[in-house]
Chain A
Amino acid sequence: MSDIRQAREAVVARILEGDGEASPAQRRAAFNNTGLGEPLRKLIDKVARHAYRVTDEDIDGARASGLSEDQIFEIVVCAAIGQATRQYDTALAALEAATRKE
């Protein structure tokens, strides 16, 4: 397929640097899965590591902390793309190492 890196980078740039309801710092923290306080930390860590364990209570907790649904939508999207990006970058580095000419 054609090089998707540019299109993928556009996705990441949009969610992290474009307009949004959540602050850029919150979106970046969700993307990196670091530096978030409770209850968001628990929700975002679940999205990153085992999303099938996310419950209604996790989303309700984020709402109760004062976030709007649009803010929750954005930071969950950032968390999902952040984890998929780390996996992808790690695997591409392994591919590079495996095919590097000595």
Chain B
Amino acid sequence: MRLAILDSGQGFGTKVLFALIRTISRQPVLDVIKLVKYRADFYGGPMQRVTHEVMRGPSSWSVGDRELMAALIAKTNGCEWCTKAHSAVAEGAYRDEKKVSAGLSNLETSAIEEPLRATLRMLCKLTREHAVDADDIRAVLAAGASRQQIEDALAVCFSFNTIGRLADAFGFVVPGPKAFEAGAKYLLARGYR
């Protein structure tokens, strides 16, 4: 990572935790964990409260739907780290690898429900162009998504437009697929706390 403090500036207790993670998972500690644990009162603590509620709180979007949103937002931002990480979580949540890969490679032809497809299309535009207008939202409503579902999806967009920027700016190291699989299992079992 580009800032040495994120790699090695953690307190003693956090370093012990990282050693435990390495021992139990037999994988390196993911850079996102180093980020949220570094001076957690500044960023990691408050932001994880938001992200856990957004990704695991009550919503008529399934966990898989929300993780697919996260992966597609990351892909739109050109963030390899977050695309791989949240593809793995979405695949685990849906138990359907093809649904995720098809959704990411061609949203328009993939076999997903229309309300989700229209929502993902709007999130991609918001991420790419930094804005959407009332007509963009009306198109999502017309496809069958509710107002609450749109609000929930915009919250996912907020979290992952933040995290993806930090992953790329701080230069997260992209690990092998096994490390992401271990991370996905943790996120599906425990969420973002």
Listed residue (B42, B53, B133) with the most chain A CB atoms within 10 angstroms of its CB = B42
Chain B residues with CB under 8 A of A79: 165, 169
Say if the beta carbon of A47 comes within 8 Å of chain B. yes
Say if the beta carbon of A36 comes within 8 Å of chain B. no
Stretch at the interface among B19-27, B92-100, B123-131: B123-131
Say if the beta carbon of B46 comes within 8 Å of chain A. yes
Mark A residues whose CB is within 8 Å of B.
1-2, 4, 7-8, 10-11, 14-15, 18, 20, 43, 46-52, 54, 56, 59, 69-70, 72-74, 76-77, 79-81, 83-88, 90-92, 94-95, 97-99
Q: How far is the CA of A102 from the CA of B159 in the complex (A)?
A: 32
A1 lies within 8 A of B155 (CB): yes
Q: Pick the contact of A73: B39, B137, B155, B161 (CB < 8 A).
A: B39
Q: How far is the CA of A4 from the CA of B46 in the complex (A)?
A: 12
The residue on B at minimum CB distance from A85 is B158
Q: How far is the CA of A92 from the CA of B134 in the complex (A)?
A: 10
B161 lies within 8 A of A87 (CB): yes
Q: Pick the contact of A91: B46, B53, B141, B157 (CB < 8 A).
A: B157
The residue on A at minimum CB distance from B38 is A73
A34 → chain B closest CB, angstroms? 15
Chain B residues with CB under 8 A of A85: 158
The residue on A at minimum CB distance from B45 is A14
Mark B residues whose CB is within 8 Å of A.
2-6, 9, 38-39, 41-43, 46-47, 49-50, 53-54, 57-59, 77-79, 126-127, 130-138, 141, 147, 150-152, 154-155, 157-159, 161-171
A48 → chain B closest CB, angstroms? 8
Q: How far is the CA of A9 from the CA of B192 in the complex (A)?
A: 18
| CB-CB nearest 9 A-B residue pairs | A80-B165, A1-B57, A52-B78, A98-B137, A51-B168, A84-B161, A97-B134, A51-B165, A98-B134
Chain B residues with CB under 8 A of A46: 169
Listed residue (A56, A85, A98) with the most chain B CB atoms within 10 angstroms of its CB = A98
Q: A73-B3, A81-B162 are in contact. Are A94 and B169 (CB under 8 A)?
A: no
Q: Pick the contact of B49: A7, A15, A69 (CB < 8 A).
A: A7
Chain B residues with CB under 8 A of A11: 43, 46-47, 50
